[in-house]
Amino acid sequence: MESFGHCVGIAAPQLGLMSRVAVVDITGHPKAQSSNGLLVLANPRIVEREGSAVGREGCLSLPDVTANVRRATRVVVEHAAGTVECAGFEARCVQHELDHLDGILFLDRVESLTDDVFRRKSYGESKGGGAAQSPSAESTRARSKSPGSDASEPERTG
């Protein structure tokens, strides 16, 4: 997870492993108001959901796009090692990773494919020290002020 940079979660199917395991760690992330630290969730299932909020998400599986996704703001997850309660950004990340275990991508949860999906502006720092741009970076800059989009880049949650 750490080798991908800005990644706060990953699920086993993304690594080609057909098991129900997801890992989330938002420790130290600027959007994290609370954190349970490193969560390794085996055979997880959400048993409680509360609240609702739209937030921007990205994913290692679809590196060129981000999207506005509505998710619960608080979840309780039962897993092989017990139960964990997550809120805010951590709840969003956990739901994103658990979706991967069920074959669901964040694009499956957007309300409008035309209004809520955006091209990612950049991939962060390249090995040469400058910002690495996606292949469509020029056209993206021209459209970067899309209605409903915010200027901050989402974290890749896996």
* Active-site residue, 97 included: yes
Distance of CA 79 to the CA centre of its chain: 20
Distance between CA 1 and CA 9 in Å, rounded?
Answer: 7
Among the options 2, 97, 138, 155, which is catalytic? 97
The residues annotated as belonging to the active site are 97
